[in-house]
């Protein structure tokens, strides 16, 4: 069939090998994702029912794009393929099976904020020291237990784990985990890790359910397999056990989620689990120029732990990789913004052909400022989700309560918002009463008259009645009508409307936007169930990328390297290549962590198709103070033959700039970044000999200067005049200095000498 013509022989082999276990471990840009996409299309073309195909991707966005491509080959049937992230696919299955596990069908998905808020409450109740029991640490520990399928009961029986906690002075972690799990259960809520953990419980405990899904998903495919954790690995293994039609693709060199429990071993285990696995090698990179592929190979060669792979490109040689140094993070932004404007006009590109990748979200600020300044449109991916904004979470908490009144985090969030006279003391009383009577908070709220006294009983009771009235409305109304009713009757709309500050206005607009989204959902023709409960189902799993109203807009993309996985752009900027930033300070203690940082760099570099820019700043504001930075060791590791150094000097406002000397030293040292780097120190005057002013420097007399003349400047050294503009006495000279590069000087002040 002609769509198979777009594949090379190995790719085609993997696509046509539809039966039995298949594994592809291959380098970046070699067409792994393309193989999965074509394989699904091929299966459907061969008559496999799309309902029998399950494809697991790393992001919702990737799934969406893949579905679009498959649709272009097989048509509307593509809609019926089970495709999405592990979390979204198994949340969907858990909704069907939840009652078996004692959860309501409308169980809530607690997002990270909900989980942490619950943990904070428990840490307080247990009178634990919240420094020792830092909520992020506790959350991470519980998450890692769940991803290794260690239940609270097992945790508390495991001598080794308990001993480790004890030796760290955190002997109560086991109890904390137990209480947290009980509270989630009582609230009818699952956190993110539960979606995988409970799926495992379901498939393990209920053979008939396992059987059902094993027969439903006759063909399984997993992209980015190197980043699956144990919990995900086991789900896939269980589901594939009967038919063994499983195809996984990945690249060990791109494993970047070990910190979240991902395990490269899953790739190695695959061969043990399925001894008759067919392994396909993909060695040709179709994405990038030779230059970029060479550079990427030179990076990853520094890692000791990796599978042997051969990656080559038949694409054009391509331009060298440009390395830029800036004096500050703001200047780095400026250099990049200018480079985008230049490349765009020079090569006739679109803004959407550019991506700026950084190690940490905080780095986006200086980039954004610089882009805004010269009017370049951009979009930030993977930032705070629309659904994470306070006002949106408030309204959604009411929706959550409507469908699951046991959702305690939602209840605590809005019981007194907008204010209705239910103060902290009353909330405390509700919690105590629930504990005393071994019941849920909602039971106390619903029967406030029985459990609480006086005034608080009536305000709490009224709150309960209001939620009950929402439940009645939701039964018979569309998502939009229910949502609008709730927004009005809770007083949220009014509360935000009355706030006329800029922030208040934007919050009001956000609520409007949410309501508009729900309206669109209510009017969709491709779905039958249009209740608010359906709209709400995986809202907690959406990121701001999924809320992208205009995915084809012509904008530069800004994102962390982690979120750039699997993507590609003609021109890529990897910024902030500095020690302690990239590699991150936290990774410098062990080889394993440093190697993960290096893989991250490899991922970043391999996103580029035609042109790659790398940059670093010699000083940067971090955590509120200005720090001197050294270039990243990763720059040293790149094949120097692939690099072009672009070390422009900073445009100085005045020649008497006091920071000049130290910057200059930094700048001179930066030239030597391939050698060991001495620390940047602030000094007053260590101008090299050649620059010590000799006699004859004086503000230049323009009549003697001509384009092409060689000159020496008192401080900038030797250079050549490349342009003169303006009229006397305000003539500006553009001079290319040997060491500093190009600068513009006002001649009446410039201390120059013709040589
Ligand atoms: P990553 O490791 O970054 O996820 P990948 O191995 O999944 O990369 P793809 O994204 O599938 O690689 O492919 C990289 C690029 O190469 C895509 O633009 C894809 O369309 C193109 N490509 C892959 N195979 C071929 C081929 N046989 N002919 C032409 N283009 C191809
Ligand atoms: Mg891919």
Give residue-wise pLDDT tens across range 133-149. Answer: 999 999 999 999 999 99
Give the Å distance between the CA of 566 and the centre of ligand 1.
9
Residue-level pLDDT at 703: 59
Confidence (pLDDT) at 632: 95
The bound ligand whose nearest atom lies closest to the alpha carbon of 254 is 1
pLDDT in the model for residue 685: 27
Query: Measured from the CA of 35, which atom of ligand 1 is nearest?
Result: 11
Asked if pLDDT for residue 261 goes beyond 80, the answer is no
Q: Does the CB atom of residue 315 touch ligand 1 within 6 A? A: no
Quick one: pLDDT at residue 676?
35
426 versus 741: which is more confidently predicted? 426
Ligand 1 pocket: which of 29, 293, 563 to mutate (most atoms <8 Å of CB)? 29
Burial 676-713 (b: 16+ CB within 10 A, else e): eeeebeeeeeeeeeebeeeeeeeebebeebeeebebbb
Atom number, ligand 1, closest to the C-alpha of residue 282? 6
- pLDDT of 455 > 70? The answer is yes
Q: At 319, is the pLDDT very low, low, confident or very high (cuts 50, 70, 90)?
A: very high
Distance 28 CA to ligand 1 centre (A): 8
Positive/negative CA dihedral, 367, 373, 379, 385: positive
Pocket test for ligand 1, best of 286, 314, 357 (most atoms within 8 A of CB): 286
Which carries the bigger pLDDT value, residue 677 or residue 338?
338
Q: Which of 219-228, 431-440, 585-594, 644-653 bottoms out in mean pLDDT, i.e. has the lowest?
A: 644-653
pLDDT exceeds cutoff 80 at 546: no
- Name the least confident of 129-138, 643-652, 691-700: 691-700
**56 CA from centroid of ligand 1 (Å):** 18
Kindly list the distances between the CA atom of residue 479 and the CA atoms of 23, 88, 390, 524, 610, in Å, as whole numbers in the listed order.
Answer: 43, 21, 21, 11, 46
Reported as a pLDDT band with limits 50, 70 and 90, residue 72 is very high
Instruction: Give, in order, the Cα–Cα distances in Å from 366 to each of 330, 374, 378, 598.
Output: 5, 13, 13, 24
Residue 29 Cα to ligand 2 midpoint, Å, equals: 7
Residues with CB in 5 Å of ion ligand 2: 32-33, 566
Binding-site residues for ATP sit at 26-33
Which ranges of 52-172 would DSSP assign to H, the alpha helix?
60-74, 86-97, 112-125, 135-147, 152-157, 159-167
Which ligand has its closest atom nearest to the C-alpha of 6? 1
| Residue 21: pLDDT over 80 | yes
End-to-end C-alpha distance for the chain, whole angstroms: 72
Q: Is the CB of 29 under 6 A from ligand 1?
A: yes
pLDDT given at position 673: 38
- Which of 215-224, 277-286, 345-354, 537-546 shows the lowest per-residue confidence on average (mean pLDDT)? 537-546
What integer pLDDT is reported at residue 383 of this predicted model?
A: 67
Q: Is the CB of 566 under 6 A from ligand 1?
A: yes
- Measured from the CB, is residue 564 less than 6 Å from ligand 1? no
Residue 33 Cβ inside 6 Å of ligand 1? The answer reads: yes
Q: What is the pLDDT of residue 158?
A: 95
Task: Give the rounded percent of residues in the chain with a pLDDT score beyond 70.
Answer: 91
pLDDT for 688 equals 28
What predicted TM-score, i.e. pTM, was given to this entire model?
A: 0.81
Contact predicate 122/176, CB 8 Å = yes
Dist. CA 85 → ligand 2 center (Å):
14
Q: Which stretch of 128-132, 221-225, 695-699 has the lowest confidence by average pLDDT? A: 695-699
Nearest ligand 1 atom, CA 34: 11
Residue 680 has pLDDT above 60, yes or no: no
For the segment 467-490, the average pLDDT, to the nearest whole number, is 96
**Does the Cβ of 7 fall within 6 Å of ligand 1?**
yes
Q: Which of 472-486, 496-510, 606-620 has the lowest mean pLDDT?
A: 496-510
Does ligand 1 lie within 6 Å of residue 567's CB atom?
no
pLDDT higher than 50, residue 659: no
* pLDDT computed for residue 214 by the predictor: 96
Give me the active site residues, please.
Answer: 32-33, 223-224, 254, 607
Task: Please give the average per-residue pLDDT across 575-589, as a whole number.
Answer: 91
pLDDT for residue 646: 83
Q: With cut-offs at 50, 70 and 90, classify the pLDDT of residue 436.
A: very high
Which of 217, 212, 216, 180 minimizes the C-alpha distance to 197?
180
pLDDT digits (tens, 9 = 90+) for 170-198: 999 999 999 999 999 999 999 999 999 99
Q: Evaluate if residue 153 carries a pLDDT over 50.
A: yes
Atom of ligand 1 nearest to the CA of 224: 4
- Residue 134 structure tokens: 């830092």
d(CA 218, ligand 1 centre) in Å? 26
Q: Is the per-residue pLDDT at 549 higher than 90?
A: no
552 has a pLDDT exceeding 90: no
Q: How far, in Å, CA of 701 to CA of 20, rounded? A: 83
Which pLDDT score is estimated for 701?
Answer: 63
Does residue 204 have a cis bond before it (omega within 30 degrees)?
A: no
- In three-state form (DSSP H/G/I as H, E/B as E, the rest C), the secondary structure along 562-625 is HHHCCCCEEEEEECCCECEECCEHHHCCCHHHHHHHHHHHHHHHCCEEEEEEEEEECEEEECCE
pLDDT band of residue 506 (cuts 50, 70, 90) is: confident
Residue 457: which residues within 8 A CB-CB, separation 6 or more? 448, 449, 451
Q: At 246, list the tokens.
A: 């499983």
Residue 682 has pLDDT above 70, yes or no: no
Closest-CA residue, ligand 1 atom 18, reads 287
Q: Is the CB of 464 under 6 A from ligand 1?
A: no
Query: Percent of the chain at pLDDT above 90?
Result: 68
Testing ligand 1's pocket by substitution, the residue of 27, 30, 31 carrying the most ligand atoms inside 8 A of its CB is 31
Q: What is the pLDDT of residue 665?
A: 38
Mutate which of 2, 11, 34, 568 for ligand 1 pocket (most atoms within 8 A of beta carbon):
34
The residue-averaged pLDDT of 94-106 equals: 96
**Does the pLDDT at position 259 exceed 80?**
no
**CB of 33 closer than 8 Å to CB of 284:** no
Q: Which ligand is nearest to the CA of 223?
A: 2
Pairing of strands 717-725, 710-713: antiparallel
Atom of ligand 1 nearest to the CA of 28: 2
pLDDT at 599: 95
pLDDT of residue 658: 31
pLDDT at 544: 65
Query: What tens digit of pLDDT does each residue of 725-737 get?
Result: 888 778 888 888 7
**pLDDT in the model for residue 110:** 95
- Can you tell me which atom of ligand 1 is nearest the CA of 251? 2
CA of 287 to the centre of ligand 1 (A): 6
Q: Check residue 681 and give its pLDDT.
A: 29
Nearest CA among 565, 441, 495, 497 for reference residue 183: 441
- The residue whose CA is least distant from atom 14 of ligand 1 is 29
- Residue 90 binned pLDDT confidence (cut-offs 50, 70, 90): very high
Q: What confidence score (pLDDT) does residue 307 get?
A: 81
Strands (E), 640-689: 643-646
């Amino acid at each position: 069939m002609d769509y198979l013509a777009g594949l090379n022989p190995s790719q085609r082999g993997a696509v046509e090998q539809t039966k039995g276990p298949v594994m592809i471990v291959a380098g970046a840009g070699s067409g792994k994702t393309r193989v999965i996409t074509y394989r699904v299309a091929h299966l459907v073309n061969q008559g496999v029912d799309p309902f029998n195909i399950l494809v697991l991707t790393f992001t919702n966005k990737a799934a969406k794009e893949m579905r679009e491509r498959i649709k272009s080959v097989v048509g509307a049937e593509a809609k019926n393929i089970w495709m999405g992230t592990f979390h979204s696919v198994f949340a969907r299955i858990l909704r069907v099976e939840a009652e078996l596990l004692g959860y309501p069908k409308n169980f809530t998905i607690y997002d990270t904020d909900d989980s942490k808020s619950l943990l904070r409450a428990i840490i307080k109740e247990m009178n634990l020291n919240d420094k020792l029991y830092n909520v992020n640490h506790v959350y991470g520990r519980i998450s890692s237990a769940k991803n290794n399928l260690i239940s609270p009961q097992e945790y508390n029986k495991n001598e080794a784990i308990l001993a480790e906690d004890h030796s760290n002075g955190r002997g109560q972690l086991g109890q904390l985990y137990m209480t947290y799990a009980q509270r989630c259960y009582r609230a009818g809520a699952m956190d993110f890790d539960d979606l995988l953990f409970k799926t495992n419980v379901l498939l393990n405990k209920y053979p008939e359910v396992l059987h059902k899904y094993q027969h439903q998903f006759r063909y399984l495919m997993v992209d980015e397999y190197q980043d699956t954790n144990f919990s995900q690995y086991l789900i896939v293994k269980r589901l594939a056990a009967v038919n063994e039609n499983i195809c996984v693709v990945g690249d060990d060199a791109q494993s970047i989620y070990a910190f979240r429990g991902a395990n490269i071993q899953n790739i190695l285990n695959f061969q043990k689990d399925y001894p008759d696995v067919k392994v396909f090698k993909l060695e040709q990179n179709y994405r990038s120029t030779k230059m970029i592929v060479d550079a990427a190979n030179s990076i990853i060669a520094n890692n000791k732990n990796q599978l042997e792979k051969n990656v080559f490109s038949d694409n054009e040689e391509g331009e060298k990789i440009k390395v830029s140094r800036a004096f500050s993070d703001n200047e780095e932004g400026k250099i990049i913004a200018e480079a985008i404007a230049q490349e765009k006009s020079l090569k006739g590109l679109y803004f959407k052909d550019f991506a700026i990748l950084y190690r940490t979200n905080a780095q986006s600020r200086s980039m954004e400022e610089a882009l805004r300044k010269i009017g370049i449109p951009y979009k930030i991916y993977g930032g705070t989700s629309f659904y994470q904004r306070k006002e949106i979470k408030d309204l959604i908490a009411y929706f959550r309560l409507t469908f699951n009144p046991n959702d305690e985090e939602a209840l605590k969030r809005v019981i007194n918002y907008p204010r209705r006279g239910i103060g902290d003391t009353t909330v405390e009383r509700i919690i105590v009463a629930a504990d005393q009577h071994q019941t849920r908070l909602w039971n106390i709220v619903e029967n406030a008259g029985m459990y609480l006294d006086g005034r608080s009983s009536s305000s709490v009771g009224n709150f309960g009645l209001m939620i009950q009235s929402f439940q009645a409305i939701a039964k018979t109304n569309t998502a939009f009508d229910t949502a609008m009713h709730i927004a009005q009757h809770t007083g949220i709309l009014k509360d935000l409307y009355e706030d006329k500050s800029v922030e208040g206005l934007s919050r009001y607009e956000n609520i409007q936007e949410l309501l508009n989204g729900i309206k669109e959902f209510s009017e969709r023709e491709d779905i039958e169930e249009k209740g608010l409960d359906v709209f709400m189902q995986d809202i907690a799993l959406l990121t701001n990328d999924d809320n992208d109203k205009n995915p084809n807009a012509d904008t530069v993309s800004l994102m962390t390297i982690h979120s750039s996985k699997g993507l590609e752009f003609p021109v890529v900027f990897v910024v902030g290549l500095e020690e302690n930033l990239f590699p991150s300070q936290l990774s410098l203690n062990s080889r394993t962590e440093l190697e993960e940082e290096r893989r991250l760099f490899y991922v970043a570099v391999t996103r580029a198709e035609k042109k790659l820019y790398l940059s670093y700043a010699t000083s940067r504001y971090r955590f509120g103070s200005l720090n001197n930075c050294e270039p990243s060791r990763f720059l040293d590791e790149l094949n120097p033959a692939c690099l072009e150094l672009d070390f422009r000097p900073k445009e100085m406002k005045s020649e008497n700039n006091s920071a000049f000397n130290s910057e200059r030293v930094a700048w001179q040292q930066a030239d030597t970044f391939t050698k060991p780097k001495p620390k940047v120190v602030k000094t007053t005057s260590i101008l090299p000999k050649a620059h010590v002013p000799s006699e004859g420097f004086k503000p230049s007399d323009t009549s003697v200067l001509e384009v092409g003349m060689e000159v020496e400047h008192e401080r900038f050294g030797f250079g050549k005049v490349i342009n003169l503009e303006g009229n006397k006495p305000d003539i500006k000279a553009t001079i290319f200095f040997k060491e500093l590069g190009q600068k513009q000087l006002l001649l009446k002040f410039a201390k120059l000498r013709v040589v």
